[in-house]
């Protein structure tokens, strides 16, 4: 077999040489002047015959292209292990840089079956599709009487005669892990008292019930209570009085959070519960996130939960669902051809989750049954009728009044089982409140239950008590679809709680921390994987005694800090300023710790002789790639000092695919060469580092090196101080001052040309793409993919939204603009700097409030196929303004655009003209795109921001918002703590080859494989760590290549998470391997991808995946490892359907 492959390759090479020789001969014949002078002894007829022959050969080559594509799989195997180094760039006389063709073949081999998935077509359509519901509703906000946003509810008194009403009153306390106070302050002031009272008060009466959801608080309390109290808690959970609902570390924001972090905080909470209380959550509870993503029901279903509850949904949708009795539905994923993703969802019908809005439609009456508001307390009823304590004298009248509300509420649902939450933020923190609520309600229940003529049974219950009773009433197994209940697909963004108050501002609020969140997430994933691999290799070598196991406690802490930040007032940007600082400090502390974990793991894995490994925390073997001086400062990259001895770098690639990347390193000398581990020179580029538009940093240079990085691996590079003959190719820079009188500090040793005026329009190009810019602004104007005659208009501009002059203004939550955006008009024209070099060229435009850099990589593969766009924003002198970046194109997208949900799936959107402008903004955690029949333009983002398409061909993103006032949602502050923030994007223009109208009308869409891979490239940048020691004292270093085979490129290793041992500060021998198979659209042309990409119909052999390690065991489990799925078999071959996420409990060693 091997021989056959080699013969094929050699044969192909000889064939190419022969054709090339023929070309050369022809060239000689046509251009040799001596032959023409002597009249020529080579007949013209023979030349034309030769030309014809060559044309035939070319035709044959075209026809053989198909056959050759079948040989590519065997070539793939041969090339996958060949460590081909990219060739050095050449600089021809015309001045533009050319990279020689890659010396390794690359292809896309996608099986036709894998393309079927995105085409869909199987399965029935749902009863409720949210895009269609939006088109249907008038959004007229009519006054509904006592239920202001609803309608009058009536009933016949005898409706319950045959089937009595079953009422479950569910006491709860919503504890925000940070909002007005920090997490710790809330814990000390309120939460610990709530939980302490809970243990005491629940034991007084076995009929009492309580639910709890935030494990971040619960675990802190658990660490501080006695063994006796812990035993009491376990008893309360065991006998069904206390239920842990959802069981995540927090109740996450569902708009801005990324699916890695959503899953991670769910695992952290579930693992804690299993280990400490031995309980597995059954029902989801999300009363406070500001809108709901369809990713959450998928994650809960895959974690084996059977039902869930939501509350903050647009009031018009609540009214419509109430009127049609669709408030309970089976929530299904758009791509699901059957029912495997279905989960029962209960939507609360009224304005809020507080007591006045949960017993029934009339808040004036419900408030009278919130016994914390009894006269003499600190809070009262705004409707001016206070609660009255229940006595024998008034119980009949009071119970009848409440029952009327219960009956009216129950008319909105299909079953005769009713859920009535009883609680609010930080409720039940004093024993008196427990007594007031529980004793008064119990008197009402006792009265109602003693009167058979009322046909009602009322009791305290947990959330699962309610769902169990519902399933029992309709006679089906929990998790199945109750007869007649509708199936719904789609999501619940964007949310409005009243009038035109759309909660679309928080999609961007505090973008600095939204960005830091994703940096921490990428580091956590990288640290988890590298730590797991280093530990497995150390155990196999018997060296785990010397490995710093204490890193595991730092890893746990980082998981918990990232988890805490997914809370719906944290990543949302809707907490008080001091609380935002507290989150920032936690994020930065964990980021620093994760860099240490990565350094320790990398140190062990690159050592040629593992016996020389010594962990010295005081003198780390590797330095960090960058440092941050405080929680709200931008990173500063490490400068490597060059001396007479070579300096070594270790580069970590956190992706599961090999990548060809341009890796930047700062050095203190322009005389530098970069060599591979074996001493081969690598393609590189030297450029200046700038403090500002015109001020080059003295004695600091960036050397960018093109190198091939192994999947999940570590590559060793050498930096040498160069002799002049071997210096790195230098970039050259043009600086256009636009008539401004600004001092210029030139970089030493690099060419800089200064022009006092503005530039003419100009273009940058590589082998894939030409990008053209407006000279006077330096902003993008058009994009033209290689091989296309006509470019596309893709122009960018900055815009500013103001806020209303009326009483309701934009704040941390709400976006209430004063009309359409106005063009950003800075007082000075921009300084534009154009830099060109062999590996990348870029255009930097410096405005007063934003510096934008558009970079085009001149390299084969993923990085050269899209534009890298970054915006450094500083609006600290703005008042009530929001800065937006808009791309306007000639793509005929009409009113349709697409945004992602949590980086996991794509949701088509439609611009609704009947709704105000702010209603048409949506969250964009990872990407948004517009398309027509020919093209798709995708904006990929490295941080969550708000996005919209307000006109055909447009895509716009809000970069930052500075607002001077509170928006009356409880925060009590505006957004005035803006930071200098760097927003990073990629702009990808793709050609659609097989689009059709029918497909495009479906409420489902997928990115291309290239788009998926571009997104992970952007979100998991390579980490460059300089070796602290200089050469003489240095042990031998070897690159680390962990994977023995190439993963199919629709598979993503979401995590490889070492599980905790009995002592939770130490690692066990097991890890959770979490895989995601991405759904992708094949209709986008994938030419010259420059990376090897094959798909395998979802099949993957895990047995031989990790080089040098054995897979000791493999057990498929539910998403959060609570339930084994099937029996552990000896087979290590797995299969995943598209879009599925699967968790495996594995043992590596």
Tokens 């809070």 locate to 379
Q: Can you say whether residue 660 is alpha, beta or left, with left for phi > 0 and alpha for psi between -120 and 50 degrees?
A: beta
pLDDT digits (tens, 9 = 90+) for 41-79: 434 445 555 555 555 544 444 434 433 333 333 333 333
pLDDT of residue 861: 86
Question: How far is 210 from 187, CA to CA, in rounded Å?
Answer: 18
For residue range 729-771, list pLDDT tens digits in order.
999 999 999 999 999 999 999 999 999 999 999 999 999 999 9
Closest Cα to residue 919, out of 574, 568, 500, 509?
Answer: 500
Q: Please give the pLDDT value at position 989.
A: 97
Separation CA 1041–CA 605 (nearest Å): 9
How far is CA 72 from its chain centroid? 34
At 947-968, the pLDDT tens digits run 999 999 999 999 999 999 999 9
Please tell me the predicted confidence (pLDDT) of residue 29. Answer: 36
pLDDT of residue 1064: 86
Report, as an integer, the average pLDDT of 311-322. Answer: 98
What pLDDT score does 36 carry?
Answer: 39
* Triad 732, 738, 741: Cα angle to 5°: 100
What local confidence, expressed as pLDDT, does residue 727 receive? 79
> Which one from 288, 370, 932, 1050 is the annotated catalytic residue?
288
User: Residue range 669-682: average pLDDT?
Assistant: 95
Nearest CA among 799, 797, 757, 752 for reference residue 773: 797
Bridge-based pairing of strands 896-901 and 935-941 is unpaired
Query: Angle 295-302/259-276 helices, nearest 10 degrees?
Result: 30
Q: How confident is the model at residue 1087 (pLDDT cuts 50, 70, 90)?
A: low
Q: Determine the pLDDT at residue 654.
A: 98
pLDDT on residue 111? 83
Q: What pLDDT is stored for residue 105 in this prediction? A: 54
Return the higher-pLDDT residue of 1050 and 1034: 1050
Instruction: List Cβ neighbours of 606 (8 Å cut-off, separation of 6 or more).
Output: 650, 714, 716, 1037, 1038, 1039, 1040
For residue 60, the model assigns a pLDDT of: 43
81 pLDDT higher than 50: no
What average pLDDT does range 917-928 have in this prediction?
Answer: 98
Q: Which residue has the tokens 């419900």?
A: 366
Give the pTM: 0.92
User: What span, in angstroms and rounded, lies between the C-alpha atoms of 518 and 591?
Assistant: 11
Q: Give the pLDDT score at 821.
A: 98
Structure tokens at 962: 């500075």
Mean pLDDT of 333-362: 97
**Percentage with pLDDT > 90 across the chain:** 84
pLDDT value at position 120?
Answer: 80
Q: Does 843 score more than 50 pLDDT?
A: yes
Confidence category of residue 300, pLDDT binned at 50, 70, 90: very high
Round to whole Å and give the CA distance between 247 and 277: 12
CA dihedral 603, 607, 609, 614 (to 10 degrees): -20
Q: Looking up tokens 């989801």, which residue turns up?
A: 284
Long-range CB pairs of 1108-1112, under 8 A, 24+ apart, other chains included: 1108/537, 1108/540, 1109/533, 1109/536, 1109/537, 1109/540, 1109/1148, 1109/1149, 1110/1148, 1110/1149, 1111/1146, 1111/1147, 1111/1148, 1112/1146, 1112/1147, 1112/1148, 1112/1149
Residue with tokens 């390759």, as numbered in its chain:
9
Per the CB < 8 A criterion, the answer to whether 669 and 640 are in contact is no
Of 867, 825, 868, nearest to 847 by C-alpha is 825
**Which residues fall within 8 angstroms of residue 94, CB to CB, at 6 or more apart?**
none
At residue 109, what are phi and psi to the nearest 5 degrees? Answer: -125, 95
Q: Which residues contact 73 (CB under 8 A, 6 or more apart)?
A: 109, 1094
The overall average pLDDT reported for the chain is 91
**What stretches of 333-391 adopt beta strand conformation (E)?**
343-347
Q: For CA atoms 352, 356, 358, 362, give the dihedral sign.
A: negative
At residue 87 the predicted structure's pLDDT band, cuts being 50, 70 and 90, is low
- Averaged over 202-230, what is the pLDDT? 98
In the structure encoding, which two tokens stand for residue 318, read together? 């609540």
Asked whether residue 1061 carries a pLDDT value surpassing 80, the answer given is: yes
Beta bridge partners of 422: 171
Q: State the Cα–Cα distance between residues 1136 and 179, nearest whole angstrom.
A: 40
**Rounded CA gap, 1127 and 1140, in Å?**
20
User: Among 72-86, 156-170, 472-486, which is the least confidently predicted range?
Assistant: 72-86
Pick left, alpha or beta for residue 970 (phi over 0 → left; psi -120 to 50 → alpha; otherwise beta).
left
Q: Give yes or no for a contact between 349 and 327, defined as CB atoms under 8 angstroms apart.
A: yes
Nearest to 714 by CA among 979, 346, 1042: 1042
Does residue 616 have an active-site annotation?
no
Exposed, middle or buried by CB within 10 Å (0-12, 13-18, 19+), for 937? buried
Whole-angstrom Cα distance, residue 689 to residue 640? 14
Judge contact between 654 and 260, C-beta under 8 A: no
Which range of 12-26, 121-135, 756-770, 1074-1088 scores highest in mean pLDDT? It is: 756-770
Query: Are the C-beta atoms of residues 961 and 508 closer than 8 Å to each other?
Result: yes
DSSP per-residue letters across 577-639: HHHHHHHHHHHHHHHHHHHHHHHHHHHHHHBSSGGG----TTS-SB--SEE-SSTTS--EEPE
| Mean pLDDT confidence for 1110-1114 | 93
User: Is the sign of the CA dihedral 1042, 1048, 1049, 1054 positive or negative?
Assistant: negative
- Token pair recorded at residue 97: 């840089």
Distance, in Å, from the CA atom of 176 to the CA atom of 570, rounded to the nearest integer, reads 10
The answer, yes or no, to whether residue 24 has pLDDT greater than 50, is no
Candidates 1024, 1040, 913, 938; CA nearest to 988 is 938
Using DSSP, state whether 127 is helix, strand or coil: coil
Share of the chain above pLDDT 70, in %: 89
Q: What is the mean pLDDT of residues 917-930?
A: 98
Q: Using CA atoms, how far apart are residues 707 and 432, in angstroms rounded to an integer? A: 67
* Position 6 pLDDT exceeds 90: no
Q: How confident is the model over 420-448, as a mean pLDDT?
A: 98
Is the pLDDT confidence value at 304 over 80?
yes
């Amino acid at each position: 077999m091997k021989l056959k492959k080699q013969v094929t390759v050699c044969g192909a090479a000889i064939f190419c040489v022969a054709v090339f020789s023929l070309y050369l001969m022809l060239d000689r014949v046509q251009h040799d002047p001596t032959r023409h002078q002597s009249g020529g002894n080579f007949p013209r007829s023979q030349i034309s015959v030769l030309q014809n022959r060559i044309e035939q050969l070319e035709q044959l080559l075209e026809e053989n292209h198909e056959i050759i594509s079948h040989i590519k799989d065997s070539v793939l195997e041969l090339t996958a292990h060949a460590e081909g180094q990219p060739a050095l760039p050449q600089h021809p006389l015309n001045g533009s840089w050319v990279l020689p063709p890659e010396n390794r073949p690359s292809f896309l081999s996608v099986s036709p079956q894998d393309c079927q998935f995105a085409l869909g077509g199987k399965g029935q359509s749902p009863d409720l599709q949210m895009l269609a519901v939006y088109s249907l509703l008038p959004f007229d906000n009519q006054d509904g009487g006592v239920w202001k946003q609803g309608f009058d509810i009536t009933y016949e008194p005898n409706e319950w005669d045959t089937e009595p009403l079953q009422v479950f009153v569910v006491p709860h306390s919503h504890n925000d892990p940070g909002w007005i106070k920090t997490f710790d302050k809330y814990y000390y002031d309120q939460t610990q008292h709530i939980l302490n009272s809970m243990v005491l008060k629940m034991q007084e009466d076995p009929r009492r019930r309580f639910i709890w959801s935030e494990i971040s608080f619960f675990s802190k309390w658990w660490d501080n209570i006695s063994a006796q109290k812990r035993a009491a808690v376990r008893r309360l959970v065991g006998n069904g009085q206390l239920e842990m609902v959802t069981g995540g570390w927090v109740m996450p924001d569902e708009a801005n959070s990324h699916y890695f972090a959503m899953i991670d905080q769910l695992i952290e909470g579930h693992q804690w519960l299993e280990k400490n209380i031995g309980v597995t959550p059954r029902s989801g509870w999300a009363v406070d996130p500001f809108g709901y993503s369809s990713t959450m029901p998928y994650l809960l279903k895959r974690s084996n939960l059977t039902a869930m509850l939501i509350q903050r949904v647009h009031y018009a949708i609540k009214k419509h669902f109430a009127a049609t009795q669709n408030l309970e539905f089976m929530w299904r994923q758009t791509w699901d051809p059957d029912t495997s993703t279905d989960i029962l969802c209960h939507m609360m019908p009224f304005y809020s989750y507080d007591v006045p809005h949960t017993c029934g439609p009339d808040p004036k009456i419900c408030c009278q049954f919130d016994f914390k508001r009894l006269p003499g307390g600190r809070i009262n009823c705004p409707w001016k009728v206070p609660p009255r304590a229940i006595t024998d004298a008034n119980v009949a009248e009071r119970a009848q009044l409440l029952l009327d509300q219960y009956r009216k509420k129950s008319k909105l649902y299909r079953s005769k089982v009713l859920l009535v939450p009883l609680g609010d933020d930080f409720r039940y923190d004093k024993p008196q409140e427990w007594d007031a609520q529980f004793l008064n309600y119990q008197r009402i229940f006792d009265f109602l239950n003693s009167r058979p003529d009322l046909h009602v049974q009322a009791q305290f219950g947990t959330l699962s008590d309610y769902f169990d009773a519902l399933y029992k009433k309709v006679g089906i197994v929990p998790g199945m679809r109750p007869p007649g209940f509708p199936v719904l697909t789609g999501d619940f963004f964007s949310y409005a709680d009243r009038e035109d108050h759309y909660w679309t501002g928080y999609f961007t609020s505090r973008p600095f921390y939204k960005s830091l969140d994703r940096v921490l997430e990428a580091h956590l994933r990288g640290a988890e994987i590298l730590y797991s691999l280093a530990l497995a290799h150390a155990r196999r070598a018997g060296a785990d005694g010397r490995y710093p196991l204490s890193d595991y406690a730092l890893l746990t802490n980082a998981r918990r800090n990232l988890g805490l930040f997914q809370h719906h007032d944290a990543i949302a940007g809707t907490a008080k300023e001091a609380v935002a600082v507290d989150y920032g400090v936690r994020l930065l502390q964990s980021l620093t710790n994760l860099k240490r974990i990565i350094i320790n793991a990398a140190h062990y894995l690159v050592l040629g002789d593992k016996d020389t490994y010594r962990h010295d925390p005081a003198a780390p073997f590797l330095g960090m790639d960058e440092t941050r001086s405080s929680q709200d400062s931008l990173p500063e990259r490490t400068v490597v000092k060059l001396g007479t001895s070579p300096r070594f770098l270790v580069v970590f690639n956190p992706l599961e695919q090999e990548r060809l990347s341009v890796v930047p390193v700062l050095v203190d000398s322009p005389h530098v060469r970069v060599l591979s581990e074996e001493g081969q020179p690598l393609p590189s580029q030297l450029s200046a580092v700038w403090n500002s538009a015109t001020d080059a940093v003295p004695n600091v240079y960036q050397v960018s090196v093109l190198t091939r990085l192994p999947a999940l691996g570590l590559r060793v590079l050498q930096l040498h101080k160069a002799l002049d003959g071997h210096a790195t190719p230098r970039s050259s820079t043009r600086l256009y001052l636009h008539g401004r009188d600004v001092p210029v500090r030139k970089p030493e040793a690099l060419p800089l040309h200064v022009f006092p005026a503005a530039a003419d329009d100009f273009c940058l190009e590589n082998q894939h793409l030409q990008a053209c810019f407006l000279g006077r602004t330096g902003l993008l104007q058009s994009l033209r993919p290689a091989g296309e005659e006509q470019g596309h208009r893709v122009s960018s501009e900055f815009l500013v939204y103001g806020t209303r002059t009326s009483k309701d203004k934009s704040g941390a939550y709400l976006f209430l603009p004063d009309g359409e955006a106005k063009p950003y008009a800075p007082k000075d024209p921009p300084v534009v700097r154009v830099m060109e070099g062999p590996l990348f060229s870029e255009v930097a435009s410096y405005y007063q409030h934003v510096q934008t850099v558009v970079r085009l990589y001149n390299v084969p593969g993923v990085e050269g196929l899209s534009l890298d766009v970054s915006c450094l924003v500083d609006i600290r002198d703005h008042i009530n303004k929001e800065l937006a970046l808009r791309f306007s194109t000639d793509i005929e997208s009409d009113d349709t655009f697409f945004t992602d949900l949590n980086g996991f799936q794509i949701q088509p959107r439609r611009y609704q003209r009947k709704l105000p402008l702010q209603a048409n903004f949506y969250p964009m955690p990872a990407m948004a795109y517009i398309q027509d029949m020919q093209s798709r333009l995708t904006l990929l983002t490295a941080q969550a921001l708000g996005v919209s398409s307000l006109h055909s061909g447009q895509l716009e993103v809000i970069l930052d918002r500075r607002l001077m006032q509170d928006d009356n949602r409880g925060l009590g502050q505006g957004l005035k703590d803006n930071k200098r923030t760097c927003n990073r994007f990629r702009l990808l223009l793709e050609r659609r080859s097989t689009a059709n109208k029918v497909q495009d009308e479906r409420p489902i869409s997928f990115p291309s494989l290239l788009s998926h891979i571009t997104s992970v490239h952007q979100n998991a940048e390579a980490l460059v760590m300089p070796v602290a020691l200089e050469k003489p004292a240095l042990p031998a270093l070897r690159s680390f290549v962990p994977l023995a085979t190439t993963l199919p490129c629709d598979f993503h290793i979401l995590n490889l998470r070492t599980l905790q041992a009995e002592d939770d500060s130490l690692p066990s021998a097991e890890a959770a391997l979490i895989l995601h198979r991405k759904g992708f659209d094949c209709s986008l042309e994938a030419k010259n991808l420059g990376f090897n990409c094959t798909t395998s119909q979802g099949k993957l052999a895990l047995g031989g995946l990790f080089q040098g390690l054995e897979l000791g065991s493999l057990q498929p489990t539910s998403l959060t490892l609570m339930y084994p799925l099937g029996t552990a078999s000896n087979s290590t071959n797995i299969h995943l359907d598209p879009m599925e996420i699967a968790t495996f409990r594995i043992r590596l060693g």
